[in-house]
């Protein structure tokens, strides 16, 4: 039930990672959270949490040294990857698309 209630967090992890370009950054080899944060211009701790969220979804992997690398599943968030879902991740995490999906759920609930 928790997954149903909080399922939107996985959409937000995908969209935020795609928007910041994190899949591109970690696609070329393991990187520390500090290095990724510096490259995207964000504080390290929130980026570390985002990277760990990506790991929990199978989009990234964390090595024994703490560095993060992209998985095959995560490669779909890269804009130039074959079969890329980068645009979809962005589209589903914009304010308008979230509002539209909320309205659709309310509409279905009323039926």
Is 51 in contact with 33 (CB distance < 8 Å)? yes
Is 94 in contact with 14 (CB distance < 8 Å)? no
What does the pLDDT read at residue 111?
Answer: 46
pLDDT over 80 (residue 110): no
The encoded tokens of residue 56 equal 């929990």
C-alpha to C-alpha distance for 13 and 6, rounded to whole angstroms: 12
What does the pLDDT read at residue 109?
Answer: 47
What does the pLDDT read at residue 28?
Answer: 92
Q: Which pLDDT band, with edges at 50, 70 and 90, does 106 fall under?
A: very low
pLDDT over 70 (residue 100): no
Structure confidence by residue, pLDDT tens digits, 35-70: 999 999 999 999 999 999 999 999 999 999 999 999
């Amino acid at each position: 039930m928790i997954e149903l209630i909080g399922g939107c967090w996985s959409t937000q992890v995908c969209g935020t990672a795609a928007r910041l370009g994190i899949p591109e950054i970690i696609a070329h080899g393991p990187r520390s959270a500090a290095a990724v944060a510096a490259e995207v211009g964000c504080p390290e701790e929130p980026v570390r949490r985002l990277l760990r969220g990506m790991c929990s979804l199978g989009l990234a992997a964390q090595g024994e040294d703490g560095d993060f690398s992209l998985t095959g599943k995560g490669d779909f968030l890269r804009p130039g990857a074959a079969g890329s879902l980068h645009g979809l991740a962005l589209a589903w995490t914009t304010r308008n698309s979230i509002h539209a999906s909320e309205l659709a759920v309310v509409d279905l609930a009323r039926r």
